[in-house]
Structure 1
């Protein structure tokens, strides 16, 4: 157990890497920092929720609804060195019959961009999904113009499986969507 600097309660991390730790994202994480991430046009430019204004209350409601589902794993990404919440990663919805899931990722702290944290987080969640949840395949998608996300997933071992022509309206024009996946080769 690691003690959180944001509260006196111990925090249980269930996944750790060299630089990152992961714990369940909870409603108390919906604070001013998180609110700023979701309302910053540079951070949210590739998020579908950018079209709807976020409030701290709506963020809490979203977190609670995702956590109430048995088909999602929603985690806070913690930078261990500073014990700082820098983003979130979601595995889900999980299809327990066919054993696949989708990854969604938000790295909210701009000073953490370009340092490999996204790739490290993706690898950790994929490893957890394959080894602990016995998933067969994990998928992801991004806008073609989201070069950072595309590179992070590919560095984590994802392959491009397809392109969705003119899938998203972004910055005044339609852009393609990239679909990626990774298969659990140990099965």
Structure 2
């Protein structure tokens, strides 16, 4: 939230009224969605995706098109009233942006989110072409550690009633160089 407020302030300071208003309206809508969602153990899948899209739009505005985000959704998931824990993959998306894509030396970052129904499960795949976990870890050594990803790991494990988490993180390499990260998570449909 602090980053959002700083971005709005920067637009106001530079007298960019259009983007300040656009950003503020999206931020206000996100702020309305988060408390509504966080009061509940589960929310409709479509509501969770709406909140995730708002977060993504704010990040795209704030980072001035340094990266591109695509989202591919299984239509059946949007058309049915499936329930999921609120904001369940937002920390994974945030981590990909903050640690993988923002630290790239060049523009051209890509974040691809694929969500599909498979049998009695929802499969989430979040893949970036960022700097990789090892390089991101070296940069983040002196920064405050985020608890969001661990919280999502634990929430998915509890939601699925499993001992081990249904989340897998894979480092992507090309020609022995880190080229991004893939996070795969599976939720049981209820």
TM-score by length of 2: 0.35
Higher alpha-carbon Rg: 2
Q: Which has the higher contact order (CA 8 A, sep 6+)?
A: 2
Identify, as 1 or 2, the structure richer in helix: 2
Q: TM-score, normalised by structure 1?
A: 0.35
